[in-house]
Amino acid sequence: MLMWKLLKKNLSVPQLAGYVFAGFAGLSIILFGIQFYADTKPLYSSNDSFLNPDFLVINKKISALSTLSLSSTVFSEKEIDDIQKQAFVKKTGFFTSSKFGIRATVSSSTFGRFYTEMFFESVPDDFIDVQSEDWTWSSEHNYIPIIIPRTYLTLYNFGFAQSQGLPQVSENLVEKIKLTVTIYGNGKTKNFDAHIAGFSDKLNTILAPESFLKWANAEFGSENTTKPSRILVETYNPGDPLIAKYFGEKNYEIADYRGNTGKAAYFMRLVIITVLIIGLIITLLAISLMLLSISLLIYKNKEKIENLILLGYSHTVIAKPYQILSLSLTVFIFLLAFAVVLIFRNLYIEKISILFDNAKIASSIIFTFTAGFAILFIICLINVFWIRKKVNETAK
């Protein structure tokens, strides 16, 4: 191609190699940062998959006095009224407890057969954010969805399983385990199928649908009513500093509210943001190098470009070889960076995927690719316009 033969003159290979190297370094860091953040997000994310983050769970602190029944851990009507009057409170909800006996049995080839006595609690359905088909119960169904605290699984994976030589399990796998729940009371017994529909960090209880609990309490339960010891509070903004202040003064606890997970997440984010900024700076330097190199090339070929214009060539046609050059190099850099990110990801992903839902992790590659392509698109756009501008300036 004659145009290329003409315009490649004065091309600086070291400069372009510098762009490839620096661009590759910068983009790898950025993409790896994004990928790592996406992959490890469940590790320090305190959001329940099913509980709206605007909800807080409040309970009174348990002291030696409360154990001796000298101070109550239940909320009085006056205290509840006071909470409801606070400006940050949108609405409140209460837990319903099971007033009958429950025994859960698990039979599986991996774990063998074991059973445990347990309890259920429920909260109003509008506080729960699981897909409705997963979180329904009606008296015709012989089937109960339940939500357990995530700490139960952590306890099993890192305490029990390791010490007993049992396999570690992911949340995804646990959700597939079938349980048999036996309910007894009032001289009646009934068996139900159950499965775990979700995990919660905020609610340290075992949740069943409210409709089920109401029905079962009426059917199997005893009559006595209890005052609530925990309250669900929906806030307008969970970050409101008044919330921590108010509950702190009242000596109430907020479950999983800016606890250690929050601090770890904060530092993790800080580290990742720092890494991303470094990657961004390197990338910007690489782009500057590329633009400078192309500007220099165009400047050195100024006379040739002017002569082509005088022959009747358009600026677009003249800019094209330079644009193709810079775009191919940029795409090459991206493919290289993507490849490196995938290779590094494979090194750590196995460990993470034991602990978390495989499906969630798989989808996060797409996120990095999307982010990567967005960056690629922007860089290409900058290159194309810059080259066009420089060619236009060279020969008017």
List interacting residues with another protein (CB under 8 A).
Answer: 2-3, 5-6, 9, 304, 307-308, 310-315, 396
Residue 325 C-beta: closest distance to another protein, Å:
17
Q: How far is the CB of 16 from another protein (least distance, A)?
A: 19
CB-wise, 14 or 312, nearer to another protein?
312
Looking at the Cβ atoms of 38 and 309, the one nearer to another protein is 309
Nearer CB in complex with another protein: 213/325: 325
DSSP 8-state code for residue 11: -
Query: Contact 69/44 with Cβ under 8 angstroms?
Result: no
- Cα 313 to Cα 323: distance, rounded to the nearest angstrom: 16
Can you name the residues that pair with 232 across neighbouring β-strands?
57, 93
Kindly state the smallest distance separating residue 17's Cβ from another protein, in Å.
Answer: 23
Residue 106 tokens read as: 């698990």
Consecutive H or E run containing 212: helix 210-220
Q: Determine contact, residues 387/322, Cβ cutoff 8 Å.
A: yes
Residue 200 contacts residue 113 (beta carbons within 8 Å): no
The answer to whether 233 touches 56, Cβ cutoff 8 Å, is yes
Closest approach of another protein to the CB of residue 367, in Å: 43
Q: What is the DSSP letter of 204?
A: -
Which residue, 3 or 284, has its beta carbon nearer to another protein?
A: 3
Given the complex with another protein, which of 254 and 308 has the nearer CB atom?
308
Nearer to another protein, 3 or 281 (CB): 3
| Cβ at position 305, least distance to another protein in Å | 11
Distance from C-alpha of 114 to C-alpha of 116, rounded to nearest angstrom: 7
Cβ closer to another protein: 153 or 305? 305
State which residue, 213 or 391, has the beta carbon closest to another protein: 391
In angstroms, give the least distance from the CB of 326 to another protein. 21
CB of 311 to another protein, least distance (A): 5
Q: How many CA atoms lie within 13 A of 6 on its CB side?
A: 16
List the beta strands (DSSP E) in the chain: 55-60, 89-94, 96-97, 101-108, 112-118, 121-122, 143-149, 178-185, 188-200, 230-235, 252-254
Q: 387-393: which pairs have CB atoms within 8 A and are 24 or more residues apart?
A: 387/294, 387/298, 387/319, 387/322, 387/323, 387/326, 388/315, 388/316, 388/319, 388/323, 390/294, 390/295, 390/298, 390/299, 391/298, 391/305, 391/315, 391/318, 391/319, 391/322, 392/315
Q: How far is the CB of 15 from another protein (least distance, A)?
A: 20
| 2 versus 70: smaller Cβ distance to another protein | 2
> 350: which residues sit within 8 A by CB, 6+ positions away?
none
Which C-beta is closer to another protein: that of 71 or that of 314? Answer: 314
Distance CA 153, CA 171 (A): 8
How near is the Cβ of 292 to another protein at its closest, in Å? 23
| Smallest distance, another protein to C-beta of residue 317, A | 9
Rounded CA-CA distance 75/80 in Å is 6
